[in-house]
Every structure is written in C-alpha cells, then in structure tokens.
A and B are shown apart, each in its own frame.
Chain A
C-alpha cells in the first residue's frame, strides 16, 4: 500500500479529514509529527490546513523551521510530490517551495464558505483525475488567502502553466473577468490576484491551494468535488513509488533511501 504522509503541526486541524480522504482514495495515510526528521517512507506528503504554531508572526512562517519541514523540503527538492492545502499552502509558500505569498483577505474577515474553482492544468500529478470541465465546489476557511506575487512573477506563472486552479463563478467563468465587482468579490472573496486559488512550482512536483478538497471528498460532506484531487495525488504517488522500486530492482539509487542522509546534512 502506498503511504501518503500528512504532516501534523501543533495547530493543524484538517489533518484527520485529510488522512480519511487519503484512505478513501486508496492510499495508506500516515501522520507525520512536526518534530520528526523523517517522512516514514511516504511516497507523497500533504501539508494540511489549520493554524500551525498558532499562525503567529505570519501564517505558516514558524512551521517552515520545524524538523519535518527540513525533510519535506529535501523530499521536494528531489522531486517528491508535496501538496499544501490552505495553511499548508501558506507553509509551502513561506518555505519557498511555491512562488508568491498569501496576504490578509481583502475584506479583512476570516472566510468560511464554499467557493468554486476550475482546474487550469489537468495534466499534473495533483489534478489528472479531477474534472477539468466544470466548476468544482469546495470550502475555503482562511483569514490569509489573498494570493499575491508581483506582475512579472504572475506573467511568468501564466506563461509556464503554473496556475493550477482559479476561482470561478458557478458557470465556470474566471472570477476576475466577470465585469461586475460584486460578482467578482463573491466568486473570489479573498481578492487573490488573477483569481489564483492554487499554484505549482516550476518543476511541477509541489502544489498548493487555498480551498479544501479533503472537506469535499465524499457526498455526505455536501460535495465530493475535491475527491479527484486526492485520488490524483494517491495515484501519482503509486506511480512514483513503482518507478522507484523498479529503479531499486535494477540497482539504481532510490530517492526514498537518499532522503534521510540529505535531511541529516540539512539540519
């Protein structure tokens, strides 16, 4: 069974939902405590939502310096799959694993409600099983979700296909192109630039998004539109693991064995 690690920081509060979502998607969920320096053989890692370390100073910044994040960073640098959800996106951005930053919501209020997002890149390890043809409904729950990067970076992200998901209206139209401020604010309530709800790194192995796929992973939750994202990650992790074990069988170095020594070197 392919292990998917879910990091548990003090203050994480979506870790259990995420662990359950991974199980439903056919992976073996493994909780990774923030003080551990190893990923316990996980083939992919999720940084879940919550308020890591109380979100003191800036959301995500203190989590960045935890032992487990050294391991996650080394894993990501070797091409390992990492998905940050909500606070996990903030942590990944602060850690420099993803471009940009998440600012205070434009309206200053914490927002807990459903939004709709469209998959912009349906060919990634995080989205290949998610439906690209319609507006996916899932909740947001954040105070700092306004995606920001400077114009040059935004242009580069668009050009290189690093915009993963975007806020849209219920008809799937881009939230920043509705031509009506009230409608745009409703569809993109945190004020994210270019209505960006999630991004990829340049290599395509690290992704982050503010909406919560794990809170929309089965119909009893009101929506299962997020399930495709979790299933994509699990299937991609299985493939990555298969690639590694066949590499191991032919005597090549494996990523899984290389990471602990790198972690040691980094700390």
Chain B
C-alpha cells in the first residue's frame, strides 16, 4: 500500500557561482531603507507529493528527481525538506 509523502526541494546557486539575481535584490534593499543585509542568493523551491511504500522510498525518488532534473549539479545545490500534507491536497486553489 502506498502513502503520499509531501516534500519541498530548495535549489540554490552553489557558493562561488555568480548570482546576478541575488545581487540585484541586494542592490535594491537600499531603496527600501534597509541596511545590513548581505549574501542574498536567489533560488527556487519546488513542492511535490510522492506516493511510495515508506518515507525512505519516497525520499529516494525525490533525491533522484532533484539531482537529475530540478538542479544542475555543475552550478546548483539542493536540499530536501519533508513538509506537512497540505489541507485538501489536489484541490489546488
């Protein structure tokens, strides 16, 4: 019997990779009157549900997906989070 497991994959540029988006965000902070913020890196978060027998099996699927599709290992790193099942999953609105 398979159970749905909800995950989030956070993909960010690896340290040392130029992140012009992060730099642009950082550069705009002065316009908001905010000081003292640095090291802004802009990435991407992908949330998904995997049906699997147990959490380890579900996580293995997410690992593969994150490494082969959601991130480019040359330039990006990823972390995987287990998240709570959304209320009314599948309704989507």
**Which of B15-23, B32-40, B50-58, B80-88 lies at the interface?**
B15-23
Contacts of A220 in B (CB 8 A): none
Interface of chain A: mostly helix, strand, loop or mixed: loop
Whether a CB of chain A sits under 8 angstroms from the CB of B3 is no
Query: What's the minimum C-beta distance from A175 to chain B, rounded to whole angstroms?
Result: 17
Interface SS, B side = mixed
A195–chain B nearest beta-carbon distance, Å: 15
Q: Which of A105-113, A180-188, A200-208, A210-218 lies at the interface with chain B?
A: A105-113
Residues of chain A within 8 A (CB-CB) of B44 are 57
Q: How many angstroms from the CA of A149 to the CA of B17 in the assembled complex?
A: 10
The answer to whether the Cβ of A240 comes within 8 Å of any Cβ in the partner chain is no
**B91 at interface, CB cutoff 8 A:** no
A148 touches B75 (CB 8 A): yes
B contacts with A, residue count (CB < 8 A): 11
User: Can you identify 17 A-B contacts, CB atoms within 8 angstroms?
Assistant: A57-B69, A61-B69, A61-B72, A65-B69, A101-B72, A101-B75, A103-B18, A103-B75, A105-B20, A106-B18, A107-B20, A108-B20, A108-B24, A146-B18, A148-B75, A149-B74, A191-B18
Chain A residues contacting B24 (CB-CB under 8 Å) are 108
Q: Is B62 an interface residue (CB 8 A)?
A: no
Q: How far is the CA of A148 from the CA of B17 in the complex (A)?
A: 9
By a CB distance below 8 angstroms, the chain A residues around B69 are: 57, 61, 65
Name A91-126 residues within 8 Å CB distance of B: 94, 100-101, 103-108
Task: Indicate whether A239 reaches chain B with its CB closer than 8 angstroms.
Answer: no
| Residue in A57, A94, A101 whose CB lies within 8 Å of B70 | A57
* Cα of A94 to Cα of B74 in the assembled complex, Å: 10
1/0 per position for A59-79, CB-CB distance to B under 8 A? 001000100000000000000
Residues on the A chain within 8 Å of B72, using CB? 58, 61, 94, 101
Question: Chain B contacts of A58 at CB under 8 A?
Answer: 72
**Pairwise interchain contact B74-A104, C-beta atoms closer than 8 A:** no
Residues of B within 8 A of A65 (CB): 69
Q: Which 9 A-B pairs have the closest CB atoms?
A: A101-B74, A101-B75, A108-B20, A104-B20, A106-B20, A101-B72, A108-B24, A58-B72, A148-B75
> Within 8 Å CB of B20, what residues of A?
104-108
Interface residue from A100, A106, A108 paired with B74 (Cβ < 8 Å): A100
**Nearest CB in chain A to that of B16: its residue:** A150
10 extra interface residue pairs, beta carbon distance < 8 Å, beyond A106-B20, A148-B18, A148-B75:
A61-B69, A94-B72, A103-B75, A104-B20, A108-B20, A108-B24, A148-B74, A149-B74, A150-B74, A191-B18
Within 8 A of A (CB), among B1-31: 17-18, 20-21, 24
* Per-position binary interface string of chain A over residues 130-169, scored 1 when its CB falls under 8 Å from any chain B CB and 0 otherwise: 0000000000000000101110000000000000000000
B21 lies within 8 A of A103 (CB): no
The CA-CA distance from A234 to B4 in the complex, in Å, is 52
Complex CA distance for A87 and B52, rounded to whole angstroms = 36
Would B75 and A104 count as touching, CB distance under 8 A? no
Shortest CB distance A47–B (Å)? 17
Q: How far is the CB of B43 from chain A (nearest CB, A)?
A: 12
Using Cβ atoms and an 8 Å threshold, which residues of chain B touch A107? 20
CA distance A108 to B28 in the complex (A): 14
Q: A57-B69, A57-B70, A61-B69 are known contacts. Are A108 and B21 too (CB-CB below 8 A)?
A: yes
